Structure 1
Amino acid sequence: MSLFSFSEISIITIMIALSSVIGIALGAVKYKGVGLGIGGVLFGGIFMGWLAQKMGWIPEFSKDSFDVLAAGGVDVVKTAESVNKVQCFKHILHYVQEFGLILFVYTIGIQVGPGFFASLRGSGVKLIGYAIAIVFLGASIALSFNVFFGLNLDSTVGIYAGAVTNTPALGAGQAMIGDLVNGLNEQGLAVPEGFDVKNVASAYAVAYPFGICGILLTMLLIRFFFSVNINAEGEKYELQKKSNRKDLHTQNVSVNNSDLFGLKISEISVLQKGKVGCSRLKRGNILMVPKSDTVVYAGDILHLIGEKDEDLNDACSFIGETVQVSLTTKGTDLSVRKVVVTNEKILGKTLDALEIKSKFDVAVSRLIRTGMEFIPHSGTVLHFGDQLNIVGRKESIDAVANVVGDSAVAMQKVHMMPVFVGLVLGMFLGCLAIPVPGLPAALKLGLAGGPLVVAILLSRFGHVITMGKMHWFMPASGNSALREIGIVLFLAIVGFNSGANGFVDTLVGGDGLKWMGYGVFVTFIPIFICGILAYKFSKINYLSVCGAMAGSMTDPPALAFANGMYKNSEASSLGYATVYPFTMFLRILTPQLMIVIAYALMSK
């Protein structure tokens, strides 16, 4: 009797786990700060697939069937029962692979969604424009290999996805080719050569390594050709950042306008427009928190807050005279503290409805949401994760904290219902079929595009749609865990399938080296041309350009390399985040467009 008795589920789990362990260890190996990163899992899967085939753990791993792994290399008897097991094994692997991809793109959307629409303003528009150019130029180069050099369509799509190191593009390309094959079979038409889904993964794996290295090489070449001074670029960015900063400003003003004596704070016209607020009032030696019905007198000093200096200056000129007096809470019975909105019962309610000022005798001087701060007003609606800057007595602030939640535990908790609501909506959007005349399969956002778009929209507008009853905030630790699990599952299975289907033979004795050469062009030409144009002609900061180039390739190792150039990584990180959502969406869409164009030309 054998010591172990493995079921199909246990075999699948062991293979995925071993592929992941080997791949993660491989990705952690770096040379001068450069490594494969999470892409190492793909090669761990390739190795395990190759080893399983060579060791006889997979007696027959053909392109038409995925036979059950038989312990000890015993052949599988082709009976109805074994065929059912084969199909079960195949479908389980396929489901886990696709579910991993869904998790990955969904969590990306949740992460970048809150800042996505803000990136459409200012200098970010230029970076997004160049990123779009990089995407379509790379897709055009890849498609030309199919049109002019006769490269098979499956290899073309795989080379494109690997050369730009974009896993969702691989998933979208595989899904589209699979749909085309199914559509042709349903119509009783012959499937043309070059529609093998597994070749897509093999070409992807071959083109992937230079995709990682090519972006780093481009950064270094641009820096060398134009003698870029990294420190000077960093200092230039800091100066530009200060000039464009839109943080809240403060001024202290003495009430000298006799027309205001005896008026309530709510009756002062310049404080009614929502552009300027008053968070503290000092009368003699007494510092207090003003309410809407607090009466002002001559000599009162008001601590004003505004988004723009001109608004503050206008308010100060109207109220009286600016004074250089400290209104610090130190040494008084007042305190300043940030509390976080985590109580789900108050989500969607306004500050006025909660009566925070009147009940607790505190002032909400500013509100910070998704990294941006502004002056709240009575009609401000509260969202999960909002940070309220509270001024008042300690016991009053504690009471406000109890009302709004201020729970560190809640901020670290992943709320699962919004996750699955988002996945359901993402599936519906991804499966929305757009018929294309002359094409056997409809154009779809697919399992990669649908969840991404829905996650971006829900993370920004979900609380409005549900009237504050549900939120899509996800803590960074939870988001990172789900995202990493998703991409590891997807890459491990893609690599395993590829390795077991002769990837090594293709690389050594087949078209692997030719595919690798094609991939170099797809990687290098678009980012080199657009990088030069962005830096030299559009005068965009070099560090921002490097971050945007990394984002246009959705390449975290390249971002890490760019972040290491200067002591402050904000410029490159912001450039990456600005272009990332657009790029990810287009990387998912372009393989499908390439397939549509190639099939249309093939059908003529």
Structure 2
Amino acid sequence: MVPDVRSTSAGCDKVDLSATSLAPPQRIHPTYPGGCPTSDLHQLREPSVQLDVLASSPLLTVFLVVALGTAFGAIPFGPLRFGASGALFVGLALGATDPRLGEGLGLLSTLGLGIFVYTVGLAAGSTFFRDLRRQWPLMVVASLALVASAAVAAGAGKLLGFNGAIAAGMYTGSLTSTPALAAAVDAAGNNDPAVGYSLGYPVGVVVAILVVSIMVNKLWDSRRDPASASGAGLFATTVEVERPSWLADIPGWDEQEVRMSYLARGGHTRVVAADDELRPGDQVVVVGPAEAVALVVAHLGREVEHHLADDRRSVDYRRVVVSNRRVAGRTVGSLDIPGRYGGVITRIRRGDADLLAKDDLVLELGDRVLPVVPRDRLKEVRKLLGDSERRVSEVDALTMGFGMALGLLAGLVTIPLPGGIEFSLGSAAGPLVVGMILGGLERSGPVVWGMPHAANLTLRQLGLVLFLAAVGLSSGEDFAARAFSLEGVLIGLSAAAVVIVGALVLFGGAKRLGISAQRTTGAFAGFLGQPAILADANGRAMDDRIDAGYAATFALGMVVKILLVQIIVVL
């Protein structure tokens, strides 16, 4: 006779030996790490001990998923790499093995997502507000793309026999919007939307990564979208003047498309002054994008082989780190390096990008500035800028904590909408919006809101993988239960169609309007509301327009999706 195995309310299996012919009860062994007593018959369940260990230590589980997900994300599948999204898929696989592994991770998921979007907002804020006039056509196209995607979701539900609640959930899952899912659940009055969400979510991520891999480096006519400063390489050369010229007459000088540093005249070398007239026989160093420098060379004379910057006896230069908080948040022009030190700043290294030091460029902590000054003034300039690697490796906990707190508070504010619906920014859009505002302000009196570029990227990556690992572990069971059924396949195909149609409308409209593929790719990530897609795009292209596009459409997309799911549910 087979023993009767029952499950107790505590989650432990209890063996009823009264129904067997075994004589006295067997010896009970010590409890497993999960706290459940076990008999010899439970040796058959030995593999579950490892899951008990993981279930009893959520942080161990999360960081195991982070490590394995990072390794998985680095594996190439043809042209595709999942990158940070690997943590999501490993989390789904592990979460499907035991529902306990996804329990109690809500706080960690919220923390990771909040940190990620806040740091994105800080980085994108100044660019977003500067380019807002340019961004609004992209916002309109993104809204139209969301409406088109909603029409596909509703149509698929009618054609394939899904009810409106599951179709709404599939729509929110394919566009990875948890706040919209919550609105769908409220509107439906049941948990059907969660079914569609759990199946649509991973499909949406995979299809979106494929779209990004195809589109992020596309080049087309971007007449309404100037080239990214971070994407343009800088070139420096020495030019011998053959035709006299005032600086103001040099192509690109007034527009600050080029900078000049060294001037050699009559055997003496100094820094170029703004009121100089260049004479035949002078030699000057010109810095800027290759095309702009070529125009200057053609205007002035000819390029020479030796480089004036190699002679550092009277004029010197050095990369100096901006670590002085009194300098961070100020423009290059406001430092008045020519008037105070008789020099000039020619370029700024930010992350992996070389930026031309235009007067209106705002300095950030961690920037590596290249000042060209008289040799005896270099020490003063270094003191002004700070030049401390240690200080820029630190995160200001005061501004970080206060900014995050403001963002989370903003997310708690609810706004009543028609039909009894309440809208809130939540823990994703709240920190993003506040981060954008603070990033746009740069500083408030002595308080510098920005953070060093390297620190921003580190926190951003950490928040992202924690969020994805927690979401994957929490969604694994629901995903596995339906993923390989006919219903699951149909919902997955519908989710793919939702993303593809949205991408076609968004990229097609943006191209027609003359908006770059890079800014549109960022907007696509924001349109989805998916940080993993943004991270993937940034990993494939170095272009500050990607973050700006994401910031332009993230909060807008959330609002539009919350409104649209109410309609899909009742159809």
So what's the TM-score if we normalise by structure 1? Answer: 0.65
Tell whether 2:428 aligns with 1:448: yes
1:213-244 deviations in Å (ceiling 9; x for gaps) = 54577699x99xxxxxx99x76999xx969x9
Tell whether 2:174 aligns with 1:163: yes
Q: Quick check: 1:201–1:495 contact (8 Å CA) kept in 2?
A: no
1:469 paired residue among 431, 447, 456: 447
What is the Cα deviation at residue 450 of structure 1? 0.8
How far apart, in 2, do the equivalents of 1:514 and 1:26 lie?
A: 27
- Return closer, same or farther for 1:127/1:209 CA change in 2, 3 Å cut-off: same
Matching residue of 2:561 = 591
What is the Cα deviation at residue 155 of structure 1? 3.2
Matching residue of 2:392 = 411
In the TM superposition, 1:141-160 aligns within 5 A as 141-143=152-154, 151=162, 155-160=166-171
Q: Quick check: 1:287–1:332 contact (8 Å CA) kept in 2?
A: no
How far apart, in 2, do the equivalents of 1:201 and 1:143 lie?
A: 16
- Return closer, same or farther for 1:474/1:588 CA change in 2, 3 Å cut-off: farther
Tell whether 2:356 aligns with 1:373: yes
Q: Quick check: 1:135–1:583 contact (8 Å CA) kept in 2?
A: no
Q: Quick check: 2:534–2:547 contact (8 Å CA) kept in 1?
A: no
Q: Quick check: 1:552–1:579 contact (8 Å CA) kept in 2?
A: no
- Return closer, same or farther for 1:286/1:456 CA change in 2, 3 Å cut-off: same
Identity among equivalent pairs (%): 25
2:470 paired residue among 481, 485, 493: 493
1:344-366 deviations in Å (ceiling 9; x for gaps) = 24446788997755665544456
- Return closer, same or farther for 1:214/1:376 CA change in 2, 3 Å cut-off: closer
How far apart, in 2, do the equivalents of 1:25 and 1:297 lie?
A: 57
How far apart, in 2, do the equivalents of 1:21 and 1:306 lie?
A: 43
* Number of residue pairs the alignment of both structures matches: 510
Matching residue of 2:24 = none
How far apart, in 1, do the equivalents of 2:517 and 2:363 lie?
A: 38
1:211 paired residue among 185, 201, 204: 204
Structure 2 SS opposite 1:523: helix
**What is the letter of the counterpart of residue 450 of structure 1?**
G
**What is the letter of the counterpart of residue 434 of structure 2?**
V
Matching residue of 1:389 = 370
Which of 96-105 and 491-500 deviates more? 491-500
How far apart, in 1, do the equivalents of 2:460 and 2:155 lie?
A: 34
Superposed CA RMSD in Å reads 5.5
Tell whether 2:421 aligns with 1:433: no
- Return closer, same or farther for 1:575/1:163 CA change in 2, 3 Å cut-off: farther
Q: Quick check: 1:42–1:495 contact (8 Å CA) kept in 2?
A: yes
**What is the letter of the counterpart of residue 203 of structure 1?**
G
2:268 paired residue among 278, 281, 286: 286
Matching residue of 1:61 = none
Q: Quick check: 1:105–1:452 contact (8 Å CA) kept in 2?
A: yes
Q: Quick check: 1:363–1:390 contact (8 Å CA) kept in 2?
A: yes
- Return closer, same or farther for 1:448/1:154 CA change in 2, 3 Å cut-off: farther
1:138 paired residue among 132, 136, 149: 149
Q: Quick check: 2:109–2:471 contact (8 Å CA) kept in 1?
A: yes
- Return closer, same or farther for 1:11/1:154 CA change in 2, 3 Å cut-off: farther
Structure 2 SS opposite 1:442: strand
How far apart, in 2, do the equivalents of 1:570 and 1:454 lie?
A: 26
Matching residue of 2:43 = none
In the TM superposition, 1:160-239 aligns within 5 A as 160-164=171-175, 166=176, 169-170=177-178, 172-176=179-183, 180=186, 193-196=188-191, 200-215=193-208
1:272-298 deviations in Å (ceiling 9; x for gaps) = 999798755544211124679x99999
Q: Quick check: 1:367–1:375 contact (8 Å CA) kept in 2?
A: no
In the TM superposition, 1:70-149 aligns within 5 A as 92-117=104-129, 120=132, 130-143=141-154
What is the Cα deviation at residue 452 of structure 1? 0.9
Matching residue of 1:579 = 549
What is the Cα deviation at residue 150 of structure 1? 7.6
Q: Quick check: 1:27–1:36 contact (8 Å CA) kept in 2?
A: yes
Structure 2 SS opposite 1:344: coil
How far apart, in 2, do the equivalents of 1:119 and 1:352 lie?
A: 20
How far apart, in 1, do the equivalents of 2:303 and 2:492 lie?
A: 68
Q: Quick check: 1:43–1:205 contact (8 Å CA) kept in 2?
A: no
1:43-97 deviations in Å (ceiling 9; x for gaps) = 43344343225xxxx5xxxxxxxxxx9xxxxxxxxxxxxxxxxxxx96x432222
1:370-402 deviations in Å (ceiling 9; x for gaps) = 96534439xx98653455432224442133113
1:519 paired residue among 490, 495, 506: 495
- Return closer, same or farther for 1:359/1:584 CA change in 2, 3 Å cut-off: closer
So what's the TM-score if we normalise by structure 2? Answer: 0.68
What is the Cα deviation at residue 453 of structure 1? 1.1
Matching residue of 1:79 = none
What is the Cα deviation at residue 530 of structure 1? 4.7
Structure 2 SS opposite 1:429: helix
**What is the letter of the counterpart of residue 330 of structure 1?**
D
**What is the letter of the counterpart of residue 107 of structure 1?**
T
Q: Where in structure 1 are there 5+ consecutive unaligned residues?
A: 59-68, 70-88, 181-191, 224-229, 266-271, 316-320
How far apart, in 2, do the equivalents of 1:387 and 1:19 lie?
A: 36
What is the Cα deviation at residue 426 of structure 1? 0.7
Structure 1 SS opposite 2:409: helix
**What is the letter of the counterpart of residue 195 of structure 1?**
N
What is the Cα deviation at residue 430 of structure 1? 1.5
Tell whether 2:8 aligns with 1:13: no
Structure 2 SS opposite 1:434: strand
1:576-596 deviations in Å (ceiling 9; x for gaps) = 445322232234323321244
1:154-178 deviations in Å (ceiling 9; x for gaps) = 53343223323x3xx22x2344457
Q: Quick check: 1:206–1:516 contact (8 Å CA) kept in 2?
A: yes
Q: Quick check: 1:35–1:557 contact (8 Å CA) kept in 2?
A: no
Matching residue of 2:26 = none
1:25-45 deviations in Å (ceiling 9; x for gaps) = 544444213254433433433
1:404-459 deviations in Å (ceiling 9; x for gaps) = 112333333332222212111112222222112331x5211111111111112212
How far apart, in 2, do the equivalents of 1:507 and 1:557 lie?
A: 22
**What is the letter of the counterpart of residue 592 of structure 1?**
I
Q: Where in structure 2 are there 5+ consecutive unaligned residues?
A: 1-29, 36-52, 248-252
- Return closer, same or farther for 1:157/1:23 CA change in 2, 3 Å cut-off: farther
